[in-house]
């Protein structure tokens, strides 16, 4: 039965993976106009990437091949007014994106070096509220997938600061798992350097959300910062949200032992029905992954808050991206992010945003979900929704 279940998961991965499109084109061949009334918002997504520039398929902007130095860019993305929370509305295949119907990348600006990027992102930070959100995507993601996912997160959470995508060189295909693991290893120093670069700006707080295999990159960068004695980025580290971490549990424990108990809200989102991680566990010798680990209290002893999403629904068959594609959960994430991490860390544990989930939002969405929150001090079951 186990082999049969894994075969089903493998087939599902071959169809969907962690990505949302069979094509990785980001830009249209020609500009398509849409009336302003059809556009909900536009977002400037700043990018640091270990991918090489796309030469064979220039519409991709950045390809799956690895670069030995970090590349920098800004992608301007529009969101259609018809957008539904938790969704990424995309054109099919290589069809042109219609801004009135789809997420559409309207322009790509490339920066020649880190100094140019730092100046551009610093200007954006100064014009906002001083917060930065760094998103690290997961396995089987093309450059386009990361751009559109971060756009969706910023749109649906109403994030008030500057979004920065760290895009490591995933192959963007289901057969590239081993290539992706090596690319993740190769990207650790680049993410560390990117976080240090952002900390040099006038940013007040740097939040991090990582997904799937991107958690390995994020945790290794944080571990490296801790080794140098700057684990909190000179006091600028904000929220750390690890969604569906594709990390061996024992490895994660060692990473946390080296990092130390966090001073800022540090949250692990897991789900026992994550089919993508079930296959990852099988590939890795049946070792449990953090993202579907069944012992939340074991993880919480390292100073993290564990949020079990098993009894919530997902927007895909793999249950691998609930944090972003479940309308209730992405809005709850946004509710948490509205309070700067420094303020949340100063509040008594019972008043922290992750424990203020309430029922109002769930009732508004019209869904029933049970979320189990485990902290180093207690276990809290929150039922949202229902009448």
Pairing type for strands 131-136 and 104-111 reads unpaired
Give the fold, CATH level 3, of 2-384: Rossmann fold (3.40.50)
Q: Which residues make Cβ contacts (< 8 Å) with residue 4, sequence separation at least 6?
A: none
In this prediction, residue 376 carries a pLDDT of 87
pLDDT (tens digit, 0 to 9) for every residue of the chain, 387 residues total?
Answer: 444 444 444 444 444 446 545 689 999 999 999 999 999 999 999 999 999 999 999 999 999 999 999 999 999 999 999 999 999 999 988 899 999 999 999 999 999 999 999 999 999 999 999 999 999 999 999 999 999 999 999 999 999 999 999 999 999 998 999 999 999 999 999 999 999 999 999 999 999 999 999 999 999 999 999 999 999 999 999 999 999 999 999 999 999 999 999 999 999 999 999 999 998 888 887 789 999 999 999 999 999 999 999 999 998 899 999 999 999 889 889 988 988 888 777 765 444 544 544 333 333 344 557 899 999 888 988 766 543
Chain centre distance of CA 109: 22
Which alpha helices (DSSP H) does 187-302 contain, by range? 188-200, 214-227, 249-259, 275-283, 296-300
- Torsion angle (degrees, nearest 10) of CA 37, 41, 47, 53: -20
Enter the pTM of the model: 0.91
In this prediction, residue 48 carries a pLDDT of 99
In this prediction, residue 18 carries a pLDDT of 61
Domain ranges of the chain: 2-384
């Amino acid at each position: 039965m186990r082999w049969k279940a894994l075969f089903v998961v493998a087939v599902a991965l071959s169809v969907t993976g962690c990505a949302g499109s069979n094509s990785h084109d980001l830009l249209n061949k020609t500009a398509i106009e849409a009336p302003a009334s059809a556009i909900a918002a536009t977002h400037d997504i700043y990018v640091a990437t270990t991918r090489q520039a796309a030469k064979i398929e220039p519409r991709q902007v950045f390809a799956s091949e690895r670069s030995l130095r970090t590349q920098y860019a800004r992608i301007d993305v529009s969101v259609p007014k018809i957008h539904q929370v938790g969704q990424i509305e995309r054109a099919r295949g290589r069809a042109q994106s219609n801004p009135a119907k789809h997420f559409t990348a309207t322009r790509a600006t490339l920066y020649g070096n880190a100094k140019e990027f730092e100046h551009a992102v610093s200007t954006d930070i100064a014009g906002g509220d001083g917060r930065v959100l760094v998103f690290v995507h997961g396995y089987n993601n093309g450059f386009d997938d990361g751009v559109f996912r971060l756009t969706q997160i910023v749109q649906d959470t109403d994030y008030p600061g500057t979004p920065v995508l760290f895009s490591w060189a995933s192959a963007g295909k289901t057969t590239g798992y081993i290539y992706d693991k090596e690319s993740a290893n190769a990207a650790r120093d680049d993410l560390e350097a990117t976080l240090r670069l952002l900390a040099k700006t006038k940013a007040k707080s740097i939040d991090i959300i990582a997904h799937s295999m991107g958690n390995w990159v994020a945790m290794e960068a944080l571990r490296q910062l801790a080794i140098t004695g700057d684990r909190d980025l000179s006091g600028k580290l904000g929220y750390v949200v690890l969604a569906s971490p594709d990390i061996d549990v024992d490895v994660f424990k060692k990473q946390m032992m080296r990092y130390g108990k966090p001073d800022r809200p540090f949250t692990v989102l897991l789900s026992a029905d994550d089919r993508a991680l079930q296959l990852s566990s099988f590939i890795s010798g049946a070792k449990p992954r953090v993202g579907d680990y069944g012992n939340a209290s074991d993880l919480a002893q390292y100073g993290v808050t564990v949020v079990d999403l098993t009894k919530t629904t997902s927007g895909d068959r793999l249950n691998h991206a609930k944090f972003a594609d479940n309308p209730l959960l992405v809005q709850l994430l946004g509710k948490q992010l509205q309070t700067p991490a420094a303020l949340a860390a100063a509040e008594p544990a019972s008043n922290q945003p992750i424990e203020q989930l309430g029922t109002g939002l769930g009732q508004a969405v019209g869904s029933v979900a049970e979320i189990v929150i485990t902290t180093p001090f207690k276990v809290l079951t929150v039922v949202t929704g229902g009448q």
